[in-house]
Amino acid sequence: MRLNRNTFITLAGLLGVMGILLFLLSNQATAPTVTDTLESTAMNAFGDAVLTDTTRLTVRDNALSIEAVISQNSDGTWLLANSPERLVQTEMDNIIAGLITARSTDQFTADDLSPYGLTNPLYAITLTTANGDYGLRVGDKNPASTRYYALIGEDNSTVHLINATNTLDRALSLTIAPPIVQITPTPAPSLETAGLLFSDYDATQIETLTLRDNITNSLLTLRRGEPALDESATWLIDPFSTNLVALPVDSVLADTAVQAIGFIATADIIRNADLEAIGITPIPAYEIVAERADGFVYPIKIGVLDASRTRYYVQIFDLPNVGIVNREDVDALLSLIANPPYALPAPESTPESTPASDG
């Protein structure tokens, strides 16, 4: 029998289809096998962990064989293990809070975990809390790159799909890019032109404020309570203050005083001034010192009033130039020596020191 051209084309097509079927059948044994149907049950990736009970976060990058261990200090500060660098606390709180709220939206059971990057998971995240450890092993992203495949806890068979949020991505990057505080070098102090005494002053970083009247030998020191630098911390009067009781003070008034220093500005600058004649040397009439938690101080030496009796001569950082500032800005602070901002009724005995009078 003689076959025509169309018969050959038909046979070739059949052979091609059979070849594809044989290929698929031969590879069926190695394709990922889902033994359970996809379930859509929302559940927390880190169980019942809560931020306030979390004391440590460990993130391991198994591909690079590196890990970041971030622990909470007794004062609530997050610290990076084996590093002197400070971490951005708000960012760490946000990262951990985001992990705690991460949820598995779908789950399935697979015989072979390798297609999901979970035979040897790419990452391992562990939250340590007062109730124990909560672990999450993270593999590849899904084809749409919207979710991660992951294993929760010690379960090695249930694959979870967890949304690839910015917070989760940020947590996975902690091994190579922890949120280190970027320290801006303190500008060299200068008193060349009229303006704010301290251009880099940040009241939220101040831990101690000292006001000293050298004329009456009176002293008032306000110090933040524990934890230091917490905006909600209570200010206290240092027990070394002259004739004052170490009682809590009105935090609003204390914060206002600390902030006021950042607004003191010079109206004029005097070069080559006679420091002794204007009451700055050998001992200034008054002193104001604000100190940060890292020990950096903002010192103001205050001399006598000028001829108008409306302005003080001041010197900062022992610079050669002298500034002239409005009297009312300084008197408002110095008045606290005689009238401490007690949160409770003031004790009967208080120093009788007052700023310079017009007399």
pLDDT tens digits for 57-67?
A: 999 999 999 99
Would the pTM of this model clear 0.75, i.e. be above it?
no
* DSSP letter for each residue of 194-233: SEES-TT--GGGEEEEEEEETTTTEEEEEEE-SSTT-TTP
User: Which pLDDT score is estimated for 119?
Assistant: 94
Per-residue pLDDT, 357: 54
Task: Spell out, as residue ranges, where the chain has pLDDT lower than 70.
Answer: 1-38, 183-190, 226-233, 242-247, 344-359
Q: Which domains does the chain have, with CATH numbers?
A: 43-175 (3.30.1490), 195-338 (2.60.40)
* CA-CA-CA-CA torsion sign (250, 252, 253, 257): positive
pLDDT of residue 132: 93
